[in-house]
Amino acid sequence: MTRRIIEVLAEAKHPFSLITKNALIERDLDLLAPMARERLVHVYFSITTLDNTLSSRLEPRASAPHSRLRAGKRLSEAGVPVGVMFAPVIPWVNDHELEAVLEAARDAGATAAGYVLLRLPHEVAPLFRDWLQMHLPDRAAHVMSTVQQLRGGKDYDSRFGQRLRGEGVYADLLARRFALASKRYGFEGRRHPPFDLTLFVRPRASSPQGELF
């Protein structure tokens, strides 16, 4: 399905960003590389941890971290602008890896970086609590206490901006760490090339009979 969508976007020269946890994106490099040359695509890899054991517990159906990094390097070498999202940042679970993830992504060719704090909207919160009790019972209470400190005493704060970064002492320290790591690994002030919005064409010629779909 993803490849079919990319084929339509390529035909129409419609710019897009793609964020993935899946190294299978390499299959679409024959489409992505030509689009990158026309400034029509950016790709971000979401990397939660470099620990294979933790990754298999958090993201059992996602590609292993080293596979994502390898895919990112291949895309970067083919000219596709690659970025990394350290996401989600989970207090006392993977937050200590922020600097290591950014460094590994830089080494794999990433030129942009971001992060997103853990979000627990609606039915996700009880699922995550169950996950903590199953895999990390010794720190489950500490994790949830910090999450609630970030969210004004609740499991989740849906306000735009706040839901990505949180608020309070922990959030401020994390933001400072990210800023320092971004500077250290060359991400500070760097952005992917802007999309070229002038190339768009209708994906198929107009018909005198009109369009049914």
Structure tokens at 112: 């942009």
What are the domain boundaries of the chain? 2-120+159-184
Band (52; pLDDT cuts 50, 70, 90): very high
| Separation between Cα atoms, residue 82 and residue 163, nearest integer Å | 24
pLDDT of residue 162: 86
pLDDT in tens, 74-124: 999 999 999 999 999 999 999 999 999 999 999 999 999 999 999 999 999
pLDDT of residue 210: 62
Least confident stretch, 124-128, 159-163, 164-168, 206-210: 206-210
pLDDT > 70? residue 127: yes
What's the predicted TM-score (pTM) here?
A: 0.91
| CATH ID of 2-120+159-184, from 3.40.50.920, 3.50.50.60, 3.10.180.10, 3.80.30.30 | 3.80.30.30
pLDDT > 90? residue 21: yes
pLDDT of residue 140: 98
Mean predicted lDDT score pLDDT of the chain: 94
Close Cβ partners of 111 (under 8 Å, ≥ 6 residues apart): 76, 81, 82, 83, 187, 190, 192
Residues pairing with 130 in the sheet: none
The string of DSSP letters for 127-154 reads HHHHHHHHH-TTTHHHHHHHHHHHTTTS
| Separation between Cα atoms, residue 179 and residue 177, nearest integer Å | 5
